[in-house]
A and B are shown apart, each in its own frame.
Chain A
């Protein structure tokens, strides 16, 4: 039984084009699944749907999101919020806007534990201190008293990782957590997330457009194009032999440091035409059905 199971999820702009086309994927407890695809493929939209933070301009038209066996979309809104808050968390993309500039770091981590999950303040503070130490922040007490603008981007992302793990969630959605960071910091943060995930046994839905990241962190992989899952496979199989031509082209497009003369390999037009034909065929199918 998977901890997170998305079945035939379709999302579209209100009275507009579809954004997700019957997406299905599974994340088992403690497993890491990568979501890759180009910009606008719907990677982040899946994460947002799971966490119940879809923008008001879009609507879910069909499908189920089973979190621990319960379909979130059928729950009343308050109950949905409570469930998500108790068992899931988000590591956001941009550490610069993901911390509230008006509050000190300490309360930003602890208040949610106290206000929403009913921890005692002492427990929450001890937990925050321990987590900051775990994400290798040198002086946790000082950071807890700081405002976000007093910390560097890498430090803020560490704080956000600590905060995501604070309530011991069973599932974390990481929405391109290293995109906004400097390359040297990216590697450390990636290692940190992988390490934390392994230690805490948290399932992770890892949204990224970097296949290098996928190979380091993930076990399973969904490749998206135009809101459609074109390939759902294990990472080992994907890198050995991608089944779908689009996946293969995506893999070929990754720059290889061993052979700089190869240059950049764009996804060939014929492959784009193939997937677009598949999307069109899908849309015709749903229009008829």
Chain B
């Protein structure tokens, strides 16, 4: 990162890239590839039912059928193929909802924290009011109004979670705004917006990145929860949450229907949060 030669030994402290950054980035890259290529690499049709092949166990257990690597659910649908296809919805929601939430929340937080005055008043009151709504009920209500579908979920996540960014970024921007370098920039003649974008934004960016990746993980979970209560995309498209909901009913006869999507979900959410922390460690110029 820092190409400059060490001046007085401070930059000699090496930053370790860290296994967690590479592992989490690796898992997410794999998942993205799988999501993009799902129609071509999925061994079976994720929607094809075959009642004669119901509840087949995964490949290492006795009594399986070749080609059904992770077994089938009670309707005879291939679990692996459904997980691969479910990755498309999960990642689409994570990336789109996470990014929009971040843009909305961080922008409002930055403005409130740096511009202060009435801007802060309005935004802070809005955050307070917003956070008084119970989030799960709020999202279920929203989906009920908007109707199920990918965009409804994305909108619900943005509407509920922007406060998470706004609160944290507001506090950070406020702390940065009190620093002398901001005063120097103002003396030199930089305008308020210029100062905000050039002096404050780069310093809250590491926090934004961490929050963004956390939010992507949260978006995956929210989508799973909504699928679980059958409010997600539609009952046909395979989603991880939907699979978990179906697998729950037959967990004693066919544990694999529940466990594999659950593991995938778990690893994905974990990877998002670890990716954020790893990126921050690596690219924050200040060793905090």
Residues of A with Cβ closer than 8 Å to B?
A: 48, 51-53, 56, 78, 81-82, 84-86, 88-90, 92-94, 97-104, 108, 111-112, 115-117, 142-143, 145-147, 149-152, 155, 160, 163, 167
Point out the residues of chain B lying under 8 angstroms from A53, CB to CB.
Answer: 183, 186-187
Task: Tell me, yes or no, whether B5 is within 8 Å of chain A by CB.
Answer: yes
Which residue in B6, B188, B194 is a CB contact (below 8 Å) of A150? Answer: B6
- Chain B nearest CB from A41 CB (Å) reads 20
Q: How far is the CB of A4 from chain B (nearest CB, A)?
A: 14
A residues in contact with B287, CB < 8 Å? 149
Are A112 and B10 within 8 A (Cβ)? no
Report whether A92 and B180 are in contact in the complex, using a CB–CB cutoff of 8 Å. Answer: yes
Q: Are A89 and B203 in contact (CB under 8 A)?
A: no
Cβ distance A39 to chain B, nearest Cβ, rounded Å = 18
Interchain nearest-CB distance for A68 vs B (Å)? 16
B interface residue numbers (CB < 8 A to A): 2-8, 10-11, 116-117, 179-181, 183-191, 194, 198-199, 202-203, 205, 285-287
**Interchain CB contact under 8 A, A142 and B5:** yes
B206 to chain A, nearest CB (A): 9
Do A112 and B189 touch (CB < 8 A)? yes
Which A residues lie within 8 Å of B285 (CB)?
101-102, 147, 149
Name A92's contact: one of B6, B184, B199, B205 (CB within 8 Å): B184
Assuming A56-B117, A102-B202, A112-B185, is B180 touching A146 (CB within 8 A)? no
**Nearest A-chain residue to B206, judged by Cβ:** A102
Per the bound structure, the CA–CA distance linking A99 and B203 in Å amounts to: 12
Question: Cβ of B203 and Cβ of A100 under 8 Å apart?
Answer: yes
Within 8 Å by CB of A146, from B7, B117, B190, lies B7
Asked if A112 and B202 sit within 8 Å, CB to CB, the answer is no
Known pairs A56-B117, A102-B202, A155-B7; A97 contacts B190 (CB<8 A): no
- From A89, A97, A142, B188 is in contact (CB under 8 Å) with A89
Interface contacts beyond A100-B202, A116-B188, A149-B285: sample of 7 additional A-B pairs, CB < 8 Å, sorted by A:
A78-B191, A85-B188, A108-B181, A116-B189, A143-B7, A150-B8, A151-B8
Q: Are B116 and A56 in contact (CB under 8 A)?
A: yes
The answer to whether B179 touches A52, judged by C-beta atoms less than 8 angstroms apart, is: no
Given contacts A142-B4, A142-B5, A149-B287, contact A90 B199 (CB under 8 A): no
Q: Is the CB of B180 within 8 A of A93?
A: yes
Contact A52 B187 (CB under 8 A): yes
Report whether A82 and B189 are in contact in the complex, using a CB–CB cutoff of 8 Å: yes
- A residues within 8 A CB of B194? 115
B117 — which chain A residues lie within 8 A by C-beta?
56
CA distance A51 to B11 in the complex (A): 35
B3 contact set on A, CB distance < 8 A: 145
Q: Which residues of A contact B189 (CB under 8 A)?
A: 81-82, 84-86, 112, 116-117
A-B contact pairs, 18 of them (CB 8 A): A53-B183, A84-B189, A85-B187, A92-B180, A92-B184, A97-B181, A98-B179, A100-B203, A101-B286, A103-B202, A112-B189, A115-B190, A116-B189, A142-B5, A145-B4, A146-B11, A152-B7, A160-B184
Residues on A with C-beta less than 8 A from B2 are 146-147, 150
